[in-house]
Structure 1
C-alpha cells in the first residue's frame, strides 16, 4: 500500500506542479534517511529538467501566422485537377495555409476569394474574359500573384511542333495556338511562376518572370492506399503489361513501342497488354487482340486499385520539346503501387530513374523489347525493382517533401505572432460615421496604428459594386477594412450569414486579439466564433446593446427605460418582448461577456452599470474616450444673439421634443438655436417634415446640415453654448467633451457620463433629467450673461483627453491580455 502511495506521488510530481512537489516532500521528510536522500536527488533532477525546458523554450522559433491562399484554377480537366490542383492545395495546407479553391470561370467566387487572401495562385488560366479584372483586383489589394503551369501550352513554337503529329483539324490547331498566347499573357502579368519540371521552368523564364520548380507529387491518400492494398501475388501463367493514356494525344508516343511490344508478345505468350484510356491501337498489335484488354479512363481510387495488380508499366514518350518538359507522374504512380517501369529517356525520367536499379530506360525498339522480356521472365527482378522504385518515389516526391523543399521557399513569408495584430469589430467604421461609438473606433484605430499595431476592421457596408453577402476589402489610412456587403439584421437577430463571414475573416486575419465595439446588426453570435477559434477578445460597451434587447433601453414609444439591472419580466410587460427570447439573449450575452479578457466602458458611471448587469466578469475597466482636438484656436464670435447648439438629432430620448417644449416656455427670444440635422444621412427626411416646422414655429431656430466628423470644427465654431438635454443615461457624452475642447460652455442634463467631465459653473451647468423648469432656470443664467459665454474660454476641461492617451491605455491592456 505504501509503495502504491509513493508511486502516485512520484507520478504527480513529474507533472512539475508545485503543489505536488510540496506534498511529496512532506511525505518523504517523514521517512528515514534513504527517503530523504531520494527526496534531495529528485528535487535536483526536477530543477534540472525545468532549466532545460526553460532554455529549450527560449530557443524555439516564434510561431508564425498562417494565411489564406486564393487558389483560382482550371478545374474542368480531371487530370489537371487531380495531379496539380489537389496536390498543390494539399501541400499548401501542409505548410499551414488556408486554401480557398475556386474555378477561374466564376467571377464572383474568385473575387470573393481574393478579398481575404494573403496571396493568389493562378493555375493554367488564360488571360481571357474576366481574368484581367481578377489580376487588377489582386493588384488593388496588394497581394502577390503566383502562376502555376505544368505543360508547355504557353510556347507557340514548341506547341506547334507537338501538334504536327496529333492529326488535329486546322481550326482546333489555330485555337490552341491562340490560347497559347493568352496563357503567356497571364504568366507575364504574374509576380512569380511555378513549373512542374526544370525543362518547363527554362521555357517559362522567357516570359520575363522569376520561375521556380515545384514537381508533381505523390498524394498522401494514394500513399495510404498503396500501403493498405493486399500484397500482389505472382501468377506464372500471365504477366500483365500496363499502359495508361489520360488524353487523346498519346497515339504517336505509343507508336514508338508498338513493334517492340508485338515482338515481345510473340516471344512470350504470357504477356497481356492492358490499356487504360484513350488510344488508337496500331495495326501491328492486331494479331494479339485476344491478349489485349481495354478499359476506359477511370476516376478516383478505382483506377489505382485496378492498376495495382499489373506487373510492368510502359511509359514511352516521343523526344520533342513539348515532351521534354513533361513530368514523371506516371513513374511516380506505378512505383507507388509496386509496378516496375520502362520509360523513354526524357529529362524527368532520366532524373528520376537509375537504369536497372529502380526502373529501366529504353531508347530504341530493341531496348524496349529486351527490357519487357527481361522483366517478364524474372519475377524476383520485378519485385526488387518495384521496392526500390517505391522507396525512391516516397523519398523524392512525397507530398510533404515537395511542399517543404520546393514550395515553402517561394511562398510569401508568414508574419510572426507578436501580439500586435488587432481585429476591431464595429457595425460602422470610417469616413461618414455619425454614431459616437463608431467615431471613437475610427479614431482609436488610427492611433493604434501609430503605436505599432497592425489593425484590421470587420464592419458592414452596403454597396452595389459587390454581390450580397460578399466581403469587400480595402485599405484606409493604413487600416485593412473587411466590409461585409449585408443589410444590418435586427438588433437581437441571430445572423448565421454574418457569423460565417466573420469566421472566414478570423481565418484570414488570425488576430492576436479581437475588440468588439458597437456590433448591433452584426448579430450576437460573433463572440462565439472567437471562442471556437481560441482567439481572445475584449469588449467596449459604448451603449446598452449588450445589456438590453432594445440597444438604447427605449420602449416602443421611444421613452427611456431606466432599469438599473435589466429584468426580462419588465422587458415583457413594458416592451412586449418575448420573455423566453429575452432570457436566451441574456444568457448568451452573460456567457460572451464572462469569457471576455476585459470589458471597457467609457465612464465610471457606465462601469458601475455594467458591473451590476454582468457580475461574473470582474475585469470591467474604464477607458475614457479620447477626442479629436480642434485644428485651430477658437476665433472671435460673430455679433448677434447667443447661439445655442444641439447635436442630438430627432431622437425623443436625446431631448429633441423636450427642448422645443422647454424653450417655448422660456418666454424670451434673445438667442438662436442651431439644430444639426443628422437624419438625412440615413435616408429619412430629417428635420424638414411639416411636423418639425410646427414643433419649432415661432422659435429662433436655424437647421444646419451635418458634416463629416472630420469637419466638425466648422459646426462647433457656430456655437456659443452646447445644449445636451438627454432624457436617458449616457455612457459618455462625446459632444460634451468636444465642445469643452473648443471653448464652448455646456448645459447638460445630469445623465451619467457627462457629469464626470462637467465642473458645475466652471465649464458647464447641470439640471435634472427631464426637468424643464430647472433647464429654463439654468438657461436664463446663461442668457443673462451673454457677453461672458460669447467670449468663454475653457479653463477646466474636466476629464477631456486626446485619442493617443486613450489608445495608449488600450495598448497596455491589450498587452496584458495577449501575454497571458
Structure 2
C-alpha cells in the first residue's frame, strides 16, 4: 500500500519537476542534477530551493527564530515525574560478556522492581531516544567514540546519574600491557586493542560512578580517577539454573560426574576468545605431566585457542572443539570430570572474575584454578576446589582428582552448595545490586490529574491556531496546581543529531519531541508506527490518566491504538476537518471548498486520485474517533459537520476556544488611510489569492495592507511582495506573539479572514473582535459565529470572487466608520480561562467515567 502511494507521489512530482525544468529556474536544477540520485532529485531540489530562498531573504528578526528554538532544545532538564527506569547502553557483540554483565543485570534489577531497557551503544539514535525515558543509565564496556560523547552529553543534559561498568582491565594501558596474551595476537589486532584503552578510559571518567566485576578491578578504576566504584560480581542467573535443572533431570551435572574409577577422566577448558593462549600455557606443564602419568586423562579444549605443541604427543587424547552456544557448552561441561581455569600471574588477571569456577561448580564439577584473586576469594583449596600456583600444583591436583572419583564428587558437591549460596540471582540482587541502585520509588499519589497533551507543533516551535490553543490549555491546566501535564510533539531534525526523540521543558512542563522528516510519506501522516512506538514509551514514562489529542498530523492515529491497548481514555479536540478530509480543510486542489456536508468517498477519490489509501485512512481515523472517550469541537458549526458524518451527538461537545484578550485599551486611531490586516500566510484555503486579486483590482491608493507571514518564525519566507501590482501600500510582517499581539491589532482597522471553507473556529477573528477591529470574514462556518453582519463585521460567501471582496473593501474605505469604533458584542466572546475550566471538568469527567 505504501509502495503504490509512493509510486503515485513520484509520478506526480516527476511531472512537476519536468515542468520546472522548462522554466528559467530549471537551469539551476540542471547544474545540481549530476550530484543527485534520480529517485531523490525532486525532494533534494525542494530543500535546496528552500535554503536558497532563506539565504537570499533571511528573516528580518532573529529573536524567536531558529537560534531560540535550538536553545530551548539544549537546555538542561531533570527526571522529575518520570517512572523509574534504568537504561543499559551496552557492548552486546560479546555474547558471554553481555550475558553476565547485561542480561543478568536486567534480571537482577527487575527482581528489585526496576523497569530496565537495553540498547547497543552503536545504535546512537535509539540510544538517544531511550535516554529520554530513563532515570539512571549504565554504560557497559562502552568506548568514548564521538557518537558516545553525544550520548554522554545528552545524559548530562537530562541530569541522569551515570555508571560506567566493566569486567576487564581494559582502561589502563600499563596494566593492560602486562597481559601476556597480547603478545600472541597479530600486530594489527594488538594495536587495535591498545588503541581502545584510551577510549574506554575517557568514557569511564566521563561518568559519575563505576561498577566493576571484581574488587581488584574496582581498585584499578579508583586509581584511574573514578572515586565511586561498586563491585557486582558475575553470578548465576535464571537461564543457567534452568539449563542445569534440565541436565540434572537428564542425569548430567548436579554433582554426578560421569567418569568412574576405571573410565576416561575428561579435563575441560573453555576459551571464549583468541586472547587466552598465554593463560592456557600456565597449565600446560602440569597437564603434560599429569597426562603422561595418568593414561585415563583426556583433554577437551573448547573455543579459539592455539594448541601448544607439547600436547601433540597425546594424539586423540586431546580434542580441539569449536565454540558453541551457551546451552551446548554447558552440556559439554556437564559430561566432563574436571574443569580448569589457568590464568597468568598479573594484575590484569587478578581483575578477572571467577565465572569459569561458578559455571563448573553449579554442575557439581570440581575445578583446578590459578590462585588469582577472584578464585582465591571464592574457594578453599582442597575443599570446594583446587588452587594451583606452580607446575607441580597443577600436576598434583589433576592426578589426585583423576585417581579418586569420590573426591571429585565431594569437591563438586561442596562447590555447588557454595556458589548456590553466594551467587544465587536473588542473593546477588539483594546484597550487591540493591546497594548500588536501591529499589525504585514511585512518588506517592498526590491527587493531581495526569494529562498528556498531543500536538504536532509546540513551543518554541509554535505554528498555527491549534498550537496556540494547545499551548494555552497546557499552561492553564498546569497553573491550576491540580493537574500534572506533559506534551508530545514533533520537531524538525537537529543538525548533527541522529533521528531520535528529545525531551525538554517549556514553562515548567515536560515536552517530548519526535523528529519528523519534512518529506514523510502520505500514509505516515495518519499512521506512523515509529511515532506510535515512541508514544508508547511516553505513556509508560508519564503514566497519564487521560490523553488529550489536539492536531496529530504526522504523528498519526497509532497513538490512539496505544491508548486503547493500555486502557487509557483519550479526548480529541477537532481543530479542523483532518479526521474526515485528506486535504484537512475540505478544499479541492484549487483551494476551493468542496461543498460536502456528508463525506462521499467517491468525491474524495476524484479530488485526490493519487491517494489510493483513502479507504484505509477513513477506516483508521474513523476508528480513532469512535473509540475516543469524548470529542471536543470549538464551534457549533464544526460539531455539526462531524455529527453529519456519523459521530454520536452525545459524544461531541462544544468547547469554544479562548484567546488572549487585550492587555490595555485600544488607542485612538491615527489619521490616515484605512489599514487592513491578513494573518493566513500564502495559503489558498485562507483566501490569500483572493485578497491579492481583490487589492490588485482596486483603483485607489488610500489603504495599507499588512500581511503576516507565519513561516518567518521557522526561518523561511512564504510571501513575496515583488510580484504584486497595487496602488496602496504593502507590508509583510512576522507572526505576532503574546507580547506583540496588541501592537499588531492596533496597527490595523480591518482584519481580512476570507477563508474558502467553513472554518472550525477562527481564533484570529476573536482576537480582532476583542480589540475593536472590524472583521471581514466568510460564512457559514465557525469563523462567522461571533460576527453580526454590519455591526461588528462583514460577511461574504465562501465562494466570494475578487470583485465581491473588492466591493466590500471599497465600502470600508469610505465613511470614516473606524474612528472611535467599539465592538458592542465583546461580552459574547470566549476566554482562555473559561475554556480551561470547562476542559478540566470534561477531562475529570472522562477519567471518573472510566474508573
TM-score by length of structure 1 reads: 0.79
Query: CA offsets per residue over residues 546-602 of structure 1, 9 Å max, x none?
Result: 0223210112332113333222244346x2658985443323222111212222222
Counterpart position of 1:151: 168
Match of 1:799 in 2: 829
Three-state SS of the structure 2 residue aligned to 1:303 is helix
Distance in 2, Cα, partners of 1:743 & 1:635: 10
CA contact (8 A) 1:264 1:372 kept: yes
2:816 is the alignment partner of 1:786: yes
CA offsets per residue over residues 386-411 of structure 1, 9 Å max, x none?
34544543454345654565345544
For the 8 Å contact 1:658–1:770, the answer to whether it is kept is no
Corresponding position of 1:102: 120
Q: Give me the whole-angstrom Cα distance separating, in 2, the residues matched to 1:482 and 1:269.
A: 70
Q: Which residue is 1:238 aligned to?
A: 264
Matched residue, 2:594? 561
Instruction: State the shift of 1:622 in Å.
Output: 2.7
**2:705 is the alignment partner of 1:702:** no
Change (3 A) 1:780 1:495: closer
Corresponding residue of 1:184: 201
| CA-CA distance at 1:689 after TM superposition | 6.1
**Aligned pair 1:537/2:563, yes or no?**
no
Mapped contact 1:71–1:102 kept (Cα < 8 A): yes
Q: 1:129 to 1:726 in 2, by over 3 A?
A: closer
Give yes or no for contact 2:681–2:688 (8 Å, CA) kept in 1. yes
Q: Does 1:484 align with 2:548?
A: no
The change in CA–CA distance for 1:436 and 1:70 in structure 2 (over 3 A counts) is farther
Q: Is the contact made by 2:736 and 2:744 (CA closer than 8 Å) also made in structure 1? A: no
Q: Which of 153, 157, 162 pairs up with 1:140?
A: 157
Farther off after superposition, 328-337 or 612-621: 612-621
Q: For residue 294 of structure 1, report the CA deviation from its aligned partner.
A: 2.6
1:594-609 alignment, distance < 5 Å: 594-609=626-641
Aligned partner (choices 170, 193, 208) of residue 226 of structure 2: 208
Q: Secondary structure at the match of 1:273?
A: strand
| Deviation, structure 1 residue 196 | 1.0
Aligned to 1:593: 625
Give the 3 Å change call, closer, same or farther, for CA 376–89 of structure 1 in structure 2.
same
| Alpha carbons 2:639, 2:652 under 8 Å: kept | yes
Q: Secondary structure of the equivalent of 1:453? A: strand
**Contact kept? 2:465, 2:763, Cα under 8 Å:** yes
> CA deviation digits over 1:31-73, x for unaligned, max 9?
xxxxxxxxxxxxxxxxxxxxxxxxxxxxxxxx99364725143
**Correspondent of 2:336 among 310, 315, 319:** 310
Q: Does 1:223 align with 2:223?
A: no
Query: Residue 654 of structure 2: which of 622, 629, 649 is its match?
Result: 622
For the Cα contact (< 8 Å) 2:526–2:621, is it kept in 1? no
- Asked if the contact 2:302–2:320 (Cα under 8 Å) also holds between the matched residues in 1, the reply is yes
- Give the whole-Å Cα distance in 2 for the aligned partners of 1:409 and 1:456: 35
Q: Is the 8 A contact 1:558 1:653 kept in 2?
A: yes
- Check conservation: 1:91, 1:403, Cα contact below 8 A: yes
The whole-number CA distance in structure 2 between the counterparts of 1:391 and 1:495 is 59
Q: Does residue 361 of structure 2 align to residue 335 of structure 1?
A: yes
CA distance in structure 2 between the partners assigned to 1:434 and 1:494 by the alignment: 17
**Would the aligned equivalents of 1:126 and 1:179 in 2 still touch at CA under 8 Å?**
yes
Select between 434-443 and 613-622 the one with higher mean Cα deviation.
613-622
> Higher relative contact order at CA 8 Å, sep ≥6: structure 1 or structure 2?
2
Q: Relative to 1, partners in 2 of residues 1:260 and 1:745: Cα closer, same or farther, differing over 3 Å?
A: same
Of the three residues 731, 745, 761, the one matched with 1:732 is 761
Q: 2:489 is matched with which residue?
A: 458
Contact 1:490–1:521 under 8 Å retained in 2 = no
Change beyond 3 A, Cα 1:447–1:119: farther
Q: Tell me the C-alpha RMSD between the 2 structures.
A: 4.1
For residue 381 of structure 1, report the CA deviation from its aligned partner: 4.5
Deviations 1:422-447 (A, max 9, x none): 54333333245442112322333344
Aligned to 1:507: 537
Superimposed CA distance per residue, residues 697-744 of structure 1 (whole angstroms, 9 cap, x where no aligned partner): 34x352322335354444222112323333421211100222234343
Q: C-alpha displacement at 1:267, in angstroms?
A: 4.9
Change beyond 3 A, Cα 1:764–1:398 = farther
Q: Secondary structure at the match of 2:547?
A: strand
SS at match of 1:628: coil
Helix, strand or coil: the match of 2:656?
coil
**CA distances 1:102-160 after superposition (whole Å, capped 9, x unpaired):** 244x6566556556655443222333454434323333344333211111222345334
Contact 2:185 2:275 in 1 (8 A): no
Equivalences for residues 757-796 of structure 1 within 5 A: 757-758=786-787, 764=793, 766=795, 769-770=798-799, 786=816, 789-790=819-820, 792=822, 796=826
TM-score calculated relative to the size of structure 2: 0.76
Q: Does 1:84 align with 2:108?
A: no
Paired residues of 2:210 and 2:228 also in contact (CA < 8 A)? yes
Q: What residue ranges of structure 1 are gaps of 5+ in the alignment?
A: 1-62
1:648-695: CA deviation from partner (whole Å, max 9, x where unpaired): 3444443445556777999977654433345776967535363xx25x
Q: Distance in 1 between matches of 2:195 and 2:520?
A: 50
Q: Does 1:322 align with 2:348?
A: yes
Quick check: 1:546 aligned with 2:546?
no
Q: Which residue does 1:444 correspond to in 2?
A: 473
Gap change, CA 1:406 and 1:129, over 3 Å in 2: same
Q: What is the rounded CA distance, in whole Å, between the counterparts of 1:277 and 1:138 in structure 2?
A: 38
* 8 Å Cα contact 2:231-2:432 kept in structure 1: yes
- SS in structure 2 of the partner of residue 483 of structure 1: strand
Q: Is the 8 A contact 1:69 1:117 kept in 2?
A: yes
1:3-50 residue CA offsets vs partner (Å, 9 max, x unmatched):
xxxxxxxxxxxxxxxxxxxxxxxxxxxxxxxxxxxxxxxxxxxxxxxx
Match of 1:44 in 2: none
Q: Which residue of 2 aligns with 1:612?
A: 644
CA gap 1:683/1:282 in 2 versus in 1, 3 angstroms = closer
Q: Could you tell me how far 1:285 is from its partner in structure 2? A: 5.9
2:320 equivalent among 284, 291, 294: 294
Matched, 1:125 2:145: no
* Structure 2 Cα separation of the partners of residues 632 and 326 of structure 1: 74
Q: State whether residues 470 and 485 of structure 1, in contact with CA within 8 Å, keep that contact through their aligned partners in structure 2.
A: no
Residue matched to 1:49: none
